[in-house]
Amino acid sequence: MTSAERAAFKDFAADLAVYAGVPRRPVPVVPCQLPADIEDFTGRDLALEGLYTRVRSRKRQPAAVLITAAVGKAGVGKTALDVHAAHQ
């Protein structure tokens, strides 16, 4: 089989797969939305200000990633704080 025949066969097989509803490549599913914010979020002004200060004070570098951690017992609102800050 020549390279031209091989290329034609690959094109035909790809077209056949698309016609049959098979995607050429798997498309990764990436979540792109935050959970809903809490409307009556209160009482964490100091923690929020600390997060905002860290974000504002970092140097703007395209490859830099700011990593923070919320620490505490279960049910104290770590995730609610993070989600609320992310929405801001």
Quote the CA–CA distance of 42 and 48 in Å, as a whole number: 10
Q: Among all chains, which residue has been given the structure tokens 């800050």?
A: 85
What residue type is assigned to position 42 of the chain?
Answer: T
Quote the CA–CA distance of 64 and 76 in Å, as a whole number: 30
pLDDT one-digit tens code per residue, 12-39: 877 766 666 666 666 677 677 888 888 8
The token duo for 54 is: 């860290």
Instruction: Quote the pLDDT of residue 67.
Output: 79
Task: Report pTM.
Answer: 0.54
pLDDT one-digit tens code per residue, 35-84: 888 888 888 888 889 888 887 776 666 666 777 788 889 988 888 888 88
What residue type is assigned to position 69 of the chain?
Answer: A
